[in-house]
Amino acid sequence: MPGPSREQVLAPETLDDLAHLAVRRCLDLARPPYSESPEELTRRYLTPAHMAAVDIVQRWMTHAGMTVRLDGLATVIGRYAGSNPDLPPLIIGSHIDTVRNAGAFDGNLGVMLGIACVQALGQQGRRLPFALEIAAFGDEEGSRFPQAMLASRALAGSLAASALDGADARGVRVCDALGAAGLPTRPDIASLKHPGAIAYFEAHIEQGPVLEAADQALGIVTAIAAQRRFACRFHGTAGHAGTTPMALRHDALTAAAEAILAIETYCAAGPDGLVGTVGTITAEPGAPNVIPGEVFFTLDLRAPNNADRDEAADALRVVLRNIAKRREVGFSIEDLHNLPACPSDDSLSDLLADAVRSTGGSGVRLMSGAGHDAMVMADLAPMAMLFIRCAGGISHNPAESVEPGDVAAALRAMVSFLHRLGDHYGVNQ
Ligand code: HGY
Ligand code: MN
Ligand code: MN
């Protein structure tokens, strides 16, 4: 009769306790000082709320038995040594920044589960052949600066130094914000690239309805959708709301309104999985009795593959230009970021599916419409992602929630995955 498997050595309630702790820590992080507002969770990159979260995450990692460092873009990286110092580490990561008025689990849960994996190994007194590095990225959402995923791009070696000059809505540049956070304003970007990893792994809430519909707690991500983000501007003529006849107006906001509906119509009729979102808009000068002269809005465009995404981008550029021409207003569109579709590594995903099945899941596979640091980290090492069911698929919303039992299932699957991966690289101690 074979002995208990390695992951069963740890009492189940211990894993449950560690999973519940991971959930509690996400909820702790949803309140000041880790949120910019007491009324809602907003934690944007390099704000005091983010740096307070950096501090507590560093303490949690240290307490879990890791050595901890802060890289030049404020990524917290905890390291739990392996038994074979010649092997590169496995990086487990996700992000601790949030969108405005966010839920508590998007990104944060993946970091807390990474720490819980180290706690589980520590409590087992076990070492994997490779080191584990847990990365808490501070900018995945792009909710403060124009470009998103600045921190993981730096670690993956794909960040352009020019990104440090991107400015937020108040004109504060990334380099200024680094300085305000007590970090060098101009880190040597090339030196931030990670020396190499055997793989990158990310656990994340699904942020969609598929797992709930499949009655599954966990799923394995097959690929992450392609996405592009644009800055669009309509340049009209500001004018008096009372004296300017309708036929003589060059109203930038009504042009933008027609453009936004055209985007919705195009994407709704487009290929499966094509989605387009205008999430932010500003109208200047922004007075009730002034015809808007300048309008800025963002366009977030995604599709399962690069070709559908790019075909939509090219078509919409023409549609928006024609609207501007007919309305005799100016129009400009600027690429903010371009993230190609990213397939998960097959062998890692198969190992992850085995681990999920060994803990009672079906091993269902699904693609991710949401972007993740994993799509950037795939430049550095093969990646795999585990999705965790979230209620109603709701995310980017304070109603975002997870079942502690699902998080415990995720931790079991992650520990099992680590041991299986460890078997590939030598004997687990
Ligand atoms: O936008 C996204 O897909 C991710 O939540 N940053
Ligand atoms: Mn996320
Ligand atoms: Mn998000």
Query: Is the link from the previous residue into 33 a cis peptide, with omega within 30 of 0?
Result: yes
Does 13 score more than 90 pLDDT? no
pLDDT value for 424: 87
Q: What is the mean pLDDT of residues 193-212?
A: 98
> Is the shortest distance between the CB of 226 and ligand 1 below 6 Å?
no
Q: What is the mean pLDDT of residues 283-290?
A: 98
Domain borders along the chain are 6-224+341-425, 226-339
The residue whose C-alpha atom lies closest to atom 4 belonging to ligand 1 is 371
Give percent above pLDDT 70 in the chain.
Answer: 96
> Is the shortest distance between the CB of 140 and ligand 1 below 6 Å?
yes
Q: How far is the CA of 293 from the centre of ligand 2 (A)?
A: 35
| Residue 41 · residue 49 · CB < 8 Å | no
Q: Exposed, middle or buried, 154 (CB in 10 Å: 0-12/13-18/19+)?
A: buried
> Is the shortest distance between the CB of 371 and ligand 1 below 6 Å?
yes
Residues within 5 A (CB) of ion ligand 2: 106-107
Does 429 score more than 80 pLDDT? no
pLDDT value for 29: 98
Tokens linked to 350: 């198969």
Q: What is the mean pLDDT of residues 105-130?
A: 96
Q: What is the mean pLDDT of residues 172-193?
A: 98
Average pLDDT, the chain: 95
Q: Exposed, middle or buried, 287 (CB in 10 Å: 0-12/13-18/19+)?
A: exposed
Does 320 score more than 70 pLDDT? yes
φ/ψ of 385, rounded to 5, equals: -135, 140
Q: Mention every residue, 6+ apart, whose C-beta is less than 8 A from residue 37.
A: none
- Give, for ligand 1, the residue of 43, 140, 224 to mutate: max count of ligand atoms closer than 8 Å to Cβ: 140
> Is the shortest distance between the CB of 141 and ligand 1 below 6 Å?
yes
Residue range 6-224+341-425 forms a domain whose CATH class is alpha beta
Does 168 score more than 60 pLDDT? yes
User: Letter for the amino acid at 239?
Assistant: G
Does 194 score more than 70 pLDDT? yes
In CATH, 226-339 is 3.30.70.360: yes
Euclidean distance between CA atoms 87 and 89, whole angstroms = 6
Does 61 score more than 50 pLDDT? yes
Q: How confident is the model at residue 12 (pLDDT cuts 50, 70, 90)?
A: low
Q: How confident is the model at residue 14 (pLDDT cuts 50, 70, 90)?
A: confident
Task: Print burial letters for 196-209: b (CB count within 10 Å at least 16), e (below 16).
Answer: ebbbbbbbbbbbbe
Tokens linked to 86: 């010649």
Euclidean distance between CA atoms 72 and 82, whole angstroms = 25
Q: What is the mean pLDDT of residues 371-383?
A: 98
pLDDT value for 8: 41
Q: How far is the CA of 196 from the centre of ligand 3 (A)?
A: 26
Q: What is the mean pLDDT of residues 396-400?
A: 97
User: Letter for the amino acid at 82?
Assistant: G
| Residue 220 · residue 413 · CB < 8 Å | no
Does 11 score more than 70 pLDDT? no
Does 324 score more than 70 pLDDT? yes
- Give, for ligand 1, the residue of 99, 280, 338 to mutate: max count of ligand atoms closer than 8 Å to Cβ: 99
Q: How far is the CA of 221 from the centre of ligand 1 (A)?
A: 15
Q: How far is the CA of 303 from the centre of ligand 3 (A)?
A: 17
Give percent above pLDDT 90 in the chain.
Answer: 94
Q: What is the mean pLDDT of residues 375-388?
A: 98
pTM here is 0.90
Q: What is the mean pLDDT of residues 159-163?
A: 96
pLDDT value for 417: 97
Task: Print burial letters for 182-194: b (CB count within 10 Å at least 16), e (below 16).
Answer: ebeeebebeebbb
Q: What is the mean pLDDT of residues 311-332?
A: 98
Ligand 1 atom nearest to 370, measured from its CA = 3
> Is the shortest distance between the CB of 97 and ligand 1 below 6 Å?
no
Q: What is the mean pLDDT of residues 220-248?
A: 97
Q: How confident is the model at residue 425 (pLDDT cuts 50, 70, 90)?
A: confident
User: Letter for the amino acid at 7?
Assistant: E
pLDDT value for 252: 98
Q: What is the mean pLDDT of residues 50-63?
A: 98
pLDDT value for 373: 98
Euclidean distance between CA atoms 224 and 227, whole angstroms = 9
Q: What is the mean pLDDT of residues 65-81?
A: 98
Does 360 score more than 70 pLDDT? yes
- 10-19, 177-186, 395-404: least confident range: 10-19
pLDDT value for 38: 95
Q: What is the mean pLDDT of residues 390-405?
A: 97
